Amino acid sequence: MIRTFHITRPDGRLRFMLVEKIDNLTKPKGSLGRLEEVALQIGLIQQSLSPVLRHPQNIIFAADHGIAEEGVSVSPRDVTWQQTLNFLSGGAGINFLCRQHGFALKVVDAGVDHDLPYERGIIDKKVRRGSRNFLHEAALTWKELEQCIEFGAEVVRQCYDEGSNVLSFGEMGIGNTSPSSVWMHLLTGISLERCIGAGSGLDNAGVQHKYEVLKRSVEHYRGDGSTLDIIRHFGGLEMVMVVGAMLQAAELKMLVLVDGFIMTNCILAASRLYPEVLDYAIFAHQGDEAGHKLLLDWMHVRPLLSLGLRLGEGSGAVCAYPIVDSAVRMLNEMDSFAHAEITKYF
């Protein structure tokens, strides 16, 4: 049975006091723009006029995809396990960003088709060795869906117990822009063709082939069209695990930094199950995958950054963290007009 989450919207009664505090800092009203919006959101989440960011962590969920057998990615399947090991040795893109911005990094095996060295610190949540090929059958069974959601939630509870109140999520899985594109298409109604991009570097012919494979996959789908059935049938193990992780983070009133195209589709799916999850999400950046801006616009959300990133791994979310930190510092470190004895100048 799929677990139930108890997610509530932040109590809005503190909004007036937060806005009053922000407006009475020694600056023209609204002059710190998005920082003021982020500060208000975090203050409401934490129900505090002086919120604190504690022990930020980036969690990477890794898994292989059956649909990769259809040549929908330019990268070979082995890259999934090879890059997962690279995270442990500290040489990946996300590693230097985590070091730079003070993030702890957790790497979770959600379903990598390889025997990984768990003794080196990988968290073993392997449900199976890669999803099934959804061109021919459902990627996951209902039992596997249930396990993924629960395992994602378990990792977040561990972070919470370690003192974290802000998380970002990343993914590693060759072929995972394909399930992401299908999720986007079926959960938004945007045409499949507009949801598909080059992934890790397909040329025009490769993108067209990817479209044909995914189009046939959607045509073969005979499910009930519910959010759970869509993410099960076309799911990546790591992606469904992230959905569970995001929902658990929101239930625990943690701040969720949303990374690129794949993670945006995960928060989309999570929000179709529990709309309240969006109150805990800050959209970090607009990636370079073709459908990402389209999806962000459809969700009516504005990312903090647009750097042309398409790495995944949580890289854009960690890059955006200093902006989030600045918003909290604004609330806690700027003086008020009254205390500084400065006349309001707006």
98-102, long-range: CB < 8 A, 24+ apart = 98/58, 98/318, 101/56, 101/318, 101/319, 101/321, 101/322, 102/56
Number of Cα atoms under 13 Å in the Cβ half of residue 281: 31
The question of whether 36 is a catalytic residue gets the answer no
CA distance 63 to 312: 14
Choice among 171, 251, 289, 313 that is catalytic? 313
Q: Are 179 and 261 in contact (CB under 8 A)?
A: no
Instruction: Classify residue 77 as left (phi > 0), alpha (psi -120 to 50) or beta.
Output: alpha
CA distance 152 to 143: 14
Q: What angle do CA 55, 159, 36 make, to 5 degrees?
A: 45
Q: Are 331 and 50 in contact (CB under 8 A)?
A: yes
Burial 219-252 (b: 16+ CB within 10 A, else e): eeeeeeeebbbbbbbbbbbbbbbbbbbbbbbbbb
Q: Which residues are catalytic?
A: 313
